[in-house]
Chain A
Amino acid sequence: MNNVYRTSSDDIWNCLTCGLCYDGCPQGVDYPEFIKEVRDSNENGDIAHKGVFNLITDLMVDLDESKTSLDEVGNNDSKIGYYPGCLDFHDMFFELDVDFKSIADSSMKLLKSIDQDPKLMQMKCCGHDQLWQGDKGTFEKLKEQNTRIIKESGIEKLVTSCAECYRTLSQDYDLPIEVVHISQVLKDADLGIDSGTKVTYHDACRLGRHMGEYDAPRDALASAGSEVVEMKHNKNDAWCCGVSSLMNCDDKSKALRKARLDEARDVDAQVLITTCPKCLAHLNCMKDEQESVEQYDYDIKDLTVFLAEQMGGK
């Protein structure tokens, strides 16, 4: 897929850093890590959405506090923290038929249902996009501020629902506490669901190839009674949604989205599940086109939203 990914170009901004090269490289070079480092302090390529998310993050760095308000109330004394990431900004700027904040509410609801009554962490953006866009300066500030917030909060375990947050907080921060992705908490939890829905799972690159977690989301779905069918490309050779760190959105990367959505259609899934809000946005963006050429009849949902919906009023 070299030319779809355009890694044959010498432009460091074309790389999606999805990690599909990990398995292919005979020398075992960590190419994404290399890209991340060479990008540092360089003028970045075209950032989608006019860079508005960067402006928000820049502002956030200068503000005293950041606040997310959810329908679900957290327990401030809990030793377990839940970090929603930047879901509320997604709702502000993505004009899609996707309720991003419901990922956070669903996560809180799921955690509460298995007696892991979490504290809602009021942190700033994790800085994932800044780090991969070559703006390490901003990333370091966010890292410092968030680390302080986490330390002061007294939590012992931090749960994220976003694959990017999970990778960033685990790999690029030096936190003294355990960081987990919510799928890892839910993989053998008894949610009391027996959905019987036929689903397929799209591996988000940050959770899959970057962190090696392929099974937890599948297990969580299976233990909730879903029939998980696999797309042609899955786990370590799963195809990317085509956009990473809000860069490279164009007709080449759309080819990847199209290929991915076709694969899900080919396996006749009722729902395409993912664990990254960016994948969710970009796949839904193609599905919701004003005059789409292809029709995809299935839903595309975040793992937590799907499970919480199955759980209903329980």
Chain B
Amino acid sequence: MSKLVGAVAIAGGGIAGIQSAIDLASSGLKVYLIESSTTIGGKMAQLDKTFPTLDCSMCTLSPKLAEVARHPNIELMTYSEITGITGEPGDFTVTVKNKATYVDYDKCTACELCVSKCPVKVPDEYNEGQNNRKAIYLAFPQAVPRVFTIDADHCLYLNKGKCGNCQKACENDAINFEDTDKEVDINVGSVILNTGFEPYDASNLEQYRIDHPNVVSSLEFERQLSSSGPFEGHVTLADGSHPRRIAWIQCVGSRSPEIGRNTCSSVCCMYATKEAMVAMEHDLDLETTIFNIDIRAFGKGFEEFYQKAKNEKGIRFINSRPSGVEVDPVTDNISLKYEAEDGSGIKREEFDMIVLSIGLTPSDSSKNLAKIAGVEMDDNDFVKTKIDHPLETSKPGIFVCGAMQAPKDIPDTVADASGAASKAASLLSSERGNLVTEKKYPPEKDMGDEIRTGVVVCRCGINIGNIVDVPDVVEYAKTLPHVVLAKEEVYACSTDSLEGIADLVREHNLNHMVVASCTPRTHEPLFRETLMEAGLNPYLFELANIREHCSWVHQNNKEEATKKAKDIIRMSVSRANLLQPLYQEKLEFNKDALVIGGGIAGMNAALDIAEKGFKVTLLEKESELGGMLLKFTHLQDGRTTKEVLEPIIQKVESNPNITVHIETELTEQEGSMGNFKGHIKGANVDEDIEFGVAIIATGANELEPEGYFSYGEYSNIITESQLEQKLDEGVDAKNVVFIQCAGGRNDERPYCSRACCTVAMKNAIRLKESDPDRNVTILYRDIRTFGVWEELYTKARELGVVFMRYTEDKEPEVSEKTVRIFDHLMNMDFEINYDLMVLSAPMVTPETNELLAPMFKVTLDANRFFLEAHIKLRPVECATDGVFLAGTSQAPKLVDESVSQASAAASRACTILSRDFLETIGNVSVVDPELCIGCGRCTLVCPYNAPELKEVTVETEEIVYITKKSEINPAVCKGCGCCAAECPTGAITARHFTTPQIMAVIKAYGEGI
């Protein structure tokens, strides 16, 4: 590698691209985020809620969108496509075609004036074509970049030369009909491919009758559920009424080798369950039915979610796959035929609405991009990777993640994305910081003694200006205390207005500033930056939201809206007058990492961190590295675990940045991110250790299924790992029976262990291949060979492995040589002889977890796995800053997932280690030690573990005593103010929301009534 460029091109601006971009940009690399549509956000932006927590999808996503928009190291290239990639690792040239948008993005303020004037209606892609948008459009309100684009395919002016209404309506001169496509070359060191998936087009399968208006795809249904969707959240039939009975058909375009769709799409069972649950929340009388082959609730919290849906919410799950939708030629009613589970034969049932659970397929553009990048694809058109290298494509320097590699859900995609970022960052670690520039601001001016507040009232075009009497409001603002200047702007956020605001601050010597416009979510950073450019501390800015909170919601009452705008501004001014400059603090910190657990996850995490130049201590409590994989002999791709483990162990042991301690455990631990202090004790070591970040990779163990299916009673009943050891020696059993979920998915361990079905499939295939005459039977509840591993299930069936389903209320009865199973479809008992029985037992957590969790102040979930900070978007982080999770310590996983997650944890950890300093936020909460009585309530409410009780001696004249007092760690505090609200004595102040500031706002409100 002759040259290394400290920049990365990321293809695809969905949640994967967003996460990779944030990780890389935060590690000091320049990022080009290239997205073909007008906005980043991808498919996640279209989702209403996310399983299994039913969080609002957009609510969790939009802060990430805003973070990308604001990040100085990320260059967004939306409405752009990659047309060429040349060069080699460290030095690629990527050719990007920027499609003409016909709108000058620098001038557009997204005021929407143009929209109402545009006469063209186009089916709205965001709502899956269920309503219309205009030819000039913003994909959705939270879109990033928040600028309008003209759809050249439908614009009247561009196609017929007439209209041009938008140009006339635009007050900012942002419309440019002369715009053309441009091609640019960017020079990067690495490329990450994550263009995601395409929803399966159900019109390919005519039998499912998506042409019928009441048969919808699951994504159409998702939009119907959304309050920002076509029917404002009301599920609606073609005649405008609301359905009473809805059915979902699973696996439409998935698990269908007959149409060349071999894989399981991994997410549909859960999203269908979620959609049914949410629909029932909207309409309590709704009846919902999900027709399925298996319910694949394999992820963290999924099985519990499924059981809740089935047992508490009354969603009907029918284990049958209807062959198609039948439409009555007379009534046009829709119905499904299916095989009843009780053995009573074929039934027909009518539904008002049928939802097709469409799968995740590789998109044409992804296939094309793979071709441009020159990376190999697998037989299912996913980018080819290896189990132990799940993020590396066949081409060095080009990485892949998310659904472009295999169908997967959001947290796995996010983990992949961080993992791919880690791989790119390792390659370019010497170039960190070289291509990024820090913005310089003038020194802060002297505040003086007098409070001089300026108020700018924004018309936001007609958004505010047509409802609120802005000149009247401006005159009113001038009368408020300390206001020395008030004026209006058409668009306060336009570039020239921002410069104008900076000029006002300078000319009128303002030291506090209020802008009355829109939401701080999108606009506060912009105005704060303006203040900094004018030499004012950014915390002296206050935004009054008179659009979302006023003009938009009071369009029909202009007089009251004007009055309310005055109220809001009066309240904001009262607070602004009390605002104080706040400063970020720079703290030195320890840049070493500790990795706990030397399995495949811990080793990969350690390597990824070490490759970026940081020192790592790796602890393993057993006598050799390798973890749970040592107990198994083969991977499901046919390779031996030895083949995979040996090279990585060798790499770990020879890496000069990694110190390995075997038979060693962490015995004590305190401190916080950047400043952890602990003690390690083991075979050859007994010493204190300091580190900045920690990765918990303590793994899991296969349960000894004592007490389940006669395990322990007969020597011919063994577990999967025992079978693998035996298989290497040769198994002569002629009749082998597997029982799945042995000790799992029950009251004691309600979770699904995710990997066991794939492991059983791998072993059943080995048994069959080594002796085709052998009888192999698998007794299962649901076969959960998700994603590409579905092909193993298909192969096992082809090889003659027999599958029989059982339910938890009628478990198989095992005696020494036979097992009795009740078959629901036949409605009768079967007796199967066996020589060898294999139990698929779940992964369970090691006892170490119970010791580590309190040490790091992190939480274990109900199943004693470590709890991540957010189930969807922060899958490898703990709520405690600086502590990360890799592998099965977080939840059961397959090997490739553990490896990918290990890289993800390393990536997240390195976003911290790459910093020069730990920078606090300005508005941290502080404790007044004299008022603190050490009750510790702040420690209970803080979500980040920022307050800590520390021993001090209090001396009064007559009494000297030792007590604990709260101290808030500024490196960890996020300024949320929970502690300040909870503190009984008022000892804690949330610096940007002090009690006097809040009381001033309340008082100012009161002055209006």
Interface residues of A (CB under 8 A from B): 1-4, 46-50, 95, 249-252, 254-256, 258-259, 285-286, 288-293
Contacts and interface: CB of A to CB of B under 8 A. Distances in A.
B930 A290 contact: no
A250 B954 CA distance: 11
B986 A3 contact: no
Given A49-B984, A291-B949, A95 B965 contact: no
A252 B963 CA distance: 12
Contacts of A250: 930-933, 985, 987
A1 B957 CA distance: 8
Instruction: Sort A-B residue pairs by CB-CB distance and give the 4 closest, nearest first.
Output: A290-B936, A3-B957, A255-B959, A249-B985
Nearest to B957: A3
B763 to A, nearest CB: 51
Q: How large, as a class, is the contact surface on chain B?
A: 20 to 34
Given A48-B984, A249-B985, A290-B936, A254 B954 contact: yes
Contacts of A288: 935
Nearest to B987: A250
A46 B986 contact: yes
A1 B958 contact: yes
Contacts of B963: 251, 254, 258, 293
B186 interface: no
B1 interface: no
Given A4-B956, A50-B995, A254-B954, A293 B962 contact: yes
B931 A4 contact: no
B950 to A, nearest CB: 10
B964 A293 contact: yes
A291 B962 CA distance: 12
B802 interface: no
B343 interface: no
Contact of A249 (B933, B949, B964): B933
A258 B954 CA distance: 11
Nearest to B955: A255
B472 to A, nearest CB: 34
B935 A252 contact: no
Interface in B362-388: none
Contacts of A258: 959, 961, 963
Interface of B: 929-937, 939-940, 949, 951, 954, 956-959, 961-965, 981, 984-987, 995
Contacts of B935: 285-286, 288-290
A4 B958 contact: yes
Contact of A48 (B936, B937, B964, B986): B986
A291 B936 CA distance: 7
Given A249-B984, A250-B985, A251-B933, A290 B959 contact: no
A284 to B, nearest CB: 11
A265 to B, nearest CB: 13
Nearest to A49: B984
A289 B929 CA distance: 16
Contacts of B932: 250-251
Contacts of A48: 984-986
Contacts of A49: 984
11 contacts: A50-B995, A249-B931, A249-B933, A251-B932, A251-B965, A254-B954, A254-B963, A255-B954, A259-B959, A289-B934, A293-B951
Nearest to B954: A251
B956 A290 contact: no
Contacts of A290: 935-937, 939-940, 949
Given A251-B963, A291-B934, 8 more contacts: A3-B956, A3-B957, A50-B981, A50-B986, A251-B932, A255-B954, A285-B984, A291-B936
Q: Which of A47, A256, A286, A289 gathers most chain B CB within 10 Å?
A: A289
B577 to A, nearest CB: 19
A150 B935 CA distance: 39
A168 B587 CA distance: 54
A255 B954 CA distance: 8
A291 B956 contact: no
A251 B931 contact: yes
Q: Which of A251, A258, A288, A292 gathers most chain B CB within 10 Å?
A: A251
A23 B446 CA distance: 55
Contacts of A286: 933, 935
Contacts of A251: 929-934, 954, 963, 965
Contacts of B962: 293
Contacts of A292: 964
Nearest to A2: B957
Contacts of A259: 959
A282 to B, nearest CB: 9
Contacts of B931: 46, 249-251
A107 B74 CA distance: 69
A293 B794 CA distance: 64
A249 to B, nearest CB: 4
B936 A289 contact: yes
A142 B935 CA distance: 33
A233 to B, nearest CB: 12
A3 B958 contact: yes
B933 A254 contact: yes
Contacts of B954: 251-252, 254-255
Contact of A255 (B929, B936, B949, B956): B956
Nearest to A256: B959
A4 B957 CA distance: 7
Contacts of A252: 930, 954, 956
B949 to A, nearest CB: 5
A59 to B, nearest CB: 14
Nearest to B981: A50
Contacts of B933: 249-251, 254, 285-286
Q: Which of B930, B956, B986 gathers most chain A CB within 10 Å?
A: B956
A4 B964 contact: no
Contacts of B940: 290
A204 B939 CA distance: 31
Contacts of B958: 1, 3-4
A288 B933 CA distance: 12
A291 B964 contact: yes
A210 to B, nearest CB: 23
Nearest to A94: B984
Nearest to B948: A291
Nearest to B935: A289
Nearest to A246: B984
A4 B930 CA distance: 13
A255 B937 CA distance: 19
Nearest to A253: B933
A50 B962 CA distance: 26
A293 B962 CA distance: 7
A117 B954 CA distance: 49
Nearest to B928: A250
B480 to A, nearest CB: 23
A139 B44 CA distance: 58
Nearest to A242: B933
B371 to A, nearest CB: 61
A127 B939 CA distance: 33
A291 B963 CA distance: 9
A76 to B, nearest CB: 38
Contacts of A285: 933, 935, 984
Nearest to B982: A95
A47 B985 CA distance: 7
Nearest to A251: B954
Nearest to B936: A290
A1 B959 CA distance: 9
A293 B936 CA distance: 12
A48 B936 CA distance: 15
Contacts of B987: 250
Contacts of A1: 958
Contacts of A256: 959
B128 to A, nearest CB: 48
Nearest to B980: A50
A290 B954 CA distance: 18
A258 B964 CA distance: 13
A61 to B, nearest CB: 16
A285 B981 CA distance: 17
